[in-house]
């Protein structure tokens, strides 16, 4: 019996209830180590190969969309699959549980870091981790660069961007916009330099029939409508405007929490290329401009982010906690509360756009999966 006939005789998996899926997303939130590549690999192994909740083609189709969005692509992919399986509540549970375990862990670790970070043993642990984190960042830069920088012109843009941000102190948004304009003009002048390769679809395999298979019709909730799009955008706007308006009205524009909300909203919309692409922006703002933490503390936060599950961009929770704690936003008797509130607030403003992107754009993406 050959492999194809064996797959053809494999029965499809049983339907998955919302509760069963929720348990899986909870488990994933605690084991999603390894950065986006490792997290996507875990989801592929569990959802495509082992459980067969979604086919290879549909999985990669969703991933391709998440890869072009700003924000953490692995968390967005979980949100997308949760939405495809169980509507909006599935998206909220899948995406939320991808983030919440790491948020709680980082709040606890941030507090331990402040309380006992000066102890020789704890300080020694962080000094030992820092070289490893530096190596991880350099390896990620090399991996991303080797894939993206395919000719001398692209290397020149990368070098100019590096000099601009580290030597000249040019604001990160200016660098991103300038690089985008350069790429647009260059693409019109020499379009062959930007031809895409085979991409993800080149390595498609088949693991048997899936719940959401290649030819499974798009479910009713995933079909595009202008009314549905307007509802998602309207609710998303309210979920941003209401807390931001409260912060401005009650605390004032210059209050640390208000500035954190505004700054991390901008960060959420500039994270093209994943966490490593936005870390320089977070560093420049949180350390250089606002002074919420020191360069050493930022490196320590990155070390904690590398050693906890969830998106690496969750280092923003560490930044928020230290900023709220050190500045004693709620007075000297409520330092932990100030840090926890700030960490939660920056997490909200950082990840809210990702949910809106998936719920608003998902129906459009599903209309093209054939």
pLDDT digits (tens, 9 = 90+) for 213-262: 888 888 999 999 999 999 999 999 999 999 999 999 999 999 999 999 99
- Residue 317 — φ and ψ, nearest 5°? -65, -40
The residues spanned by each domain of the chain are 3-125+223-366, 131-194
Average pLDDT estimate for 105-122? 78
**Packing angle of the helix pair 73-116, 120-148 (nearest 10 deg):** 160
Query: HEC profile for the chain?
Result: CCHHHHHHHCCCCCCCCHHHHHHHHHHHHHHCCCHHHHHHHHHHHHHHHHCCCECHHHHHHHHHHHHCCCCCHHHHHHHHHHHHHHHHHHHHHHHHHHHHHHHHHHHHHHHHHHHHCCCHHHHHHHHHHHHHHHHHHHHHHHHHHHHHCCCHHHHHHHHHHHHHHHCCCCCHHHHHHHHHHHHHHHHHHCHHHHCCCCCHHHHCCCCCCCCECCCCCCCHHHCCCHHHHHHHHHHHHHHHHHHHHHHHHHHCCCCHHHHHHHHHHHHHCCCCCCHHHHHHHHHHHHHHHCCCCCHHHHHHHHHHHHCCCCCHHHHHHHHHHHHHHHCCCCCCCCHHHHHHHHHHHHHHHHHHHHHHHHHHHHHHHHCCCC
* Cα 5 versus chain centre, distance: 39
- Which residue(s) pair with 212 in the sheet? 54
Residue, of 274 and 56, whose pLDDT is higher: 56
Q: For residue range 284-299, what is the model confidence (pLDDT) as tens digits?
A: 899 989 999 999 899 8
For residue 198, the model assigns a pLDDT of 41
The residues near 188 (Cβ < 8 Å, ≥ 6 apart) are none
* Cα 6 versus chain centre, distance: 38
Q: Cα–Cα distance between 317 and 358 in angstroms, integer? A: 22
Task: Pick the range with the lowest mean pLDDT from 8-12, 85-89, 110-114.
Answer: 8-12
For residue 82, the model assigns a pLDDT of 98
Q: Within 13 Å and on the Cβ side, how many CA atoms surround 206?
A: 13
Residue, of 208 and 111, whose pLDDT is higher: 111
The residues near 96 (Cβ < 8 Å, ≥ 6 apart) are none
For residue 103, the model assigns a pLDDT of 96
Tokens of 236: 């998303």
Q: For residue range 81-95, what is the model confidence (pLDDT) as tens digits?
A: 999 999 999 999 999
Residue 134 pLDDT more than 70? no
Determine whether 238 is exposed, middle or buried from the number of CB atoms within 10 Å of its CB (0-12, 13-18, 19+).
exposed
For residue 229, the model assigns a pLDDT of 96
- Give the predicted TM-score (pTM) of the model: 0.79
């Amino acid at each position: 019996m050959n492999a194809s006939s064996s797959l053809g005789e494999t029965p499809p998996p049983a339907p998955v209830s919302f509760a069963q899926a929720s348990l899986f997303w909870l488990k994933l939130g605690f084991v999603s180590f390894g950065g986006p590549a490792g997290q996507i690999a875990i989801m592929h192994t569990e959802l495509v190969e082992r459980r067969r909740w979604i086919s290879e083609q549909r999985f990669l189709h969703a991933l391709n969309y998440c890869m072009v969005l700003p924000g953490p692509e692995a968390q967005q992919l979980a949100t997308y699959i949760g939405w495809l399986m169980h509507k909006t509540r599935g998206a909220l549970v899948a995406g939320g549980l991808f983030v919440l375990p790491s948020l709680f862990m980082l709040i606890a670790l941030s507090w331990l870091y402040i309380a006992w970070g000066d102890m020789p043993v704890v300080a020694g642990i962080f000094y030992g981790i820092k070289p490893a984190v530096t190596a991880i960042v350099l390896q990620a830069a090399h991996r991303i660069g080797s894939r993206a920088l395919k000719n001398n012109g692209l290397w020149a843009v990368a070098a100019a961007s590096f000099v601009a941000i580290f030597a000249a102190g040019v604001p990160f948004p200016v660098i991103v916009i300038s690089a985008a304009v350069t790429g647009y003009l260059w693409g019109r002048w020499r379009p062959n330099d930007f031809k895409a390769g085979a991409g993800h679809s080149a390595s498609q395999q088949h693991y048997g029939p899936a719940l959401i298979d290649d030819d499974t019709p798009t479910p009713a909730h995933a079909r595009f409508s202008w009314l549905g799009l307007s509802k998602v955008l309207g609710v998303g706007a309210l979920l941003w405007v209401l807390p931001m308006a409260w912060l401005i009205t009650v605390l004032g524009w210059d209050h640390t929490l208000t500035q954190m909300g505004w700054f991390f909203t901008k960060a959420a919309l500039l994270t093209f290329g994943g966490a490593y692409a936005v870390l320089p922006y977070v560093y420049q703002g949180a350390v250089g401009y606002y002074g919420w933490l020191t360069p050493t503390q930022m490196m320590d936060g990155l070390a904690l982010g590398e050693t906890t599950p969830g998106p690496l961009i969750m280092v923003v929770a560490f930044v928020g906690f230290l900023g709220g704690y050190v500045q004693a936003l709620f007075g000297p008797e409520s330092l932990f509360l100030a840090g926890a509130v700030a960490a939660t607030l920056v997490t909200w403003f950082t990840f809210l756009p990702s949910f809106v992107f998936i719920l608003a754009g998902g129906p459009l993406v599903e209309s093209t999966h054939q």
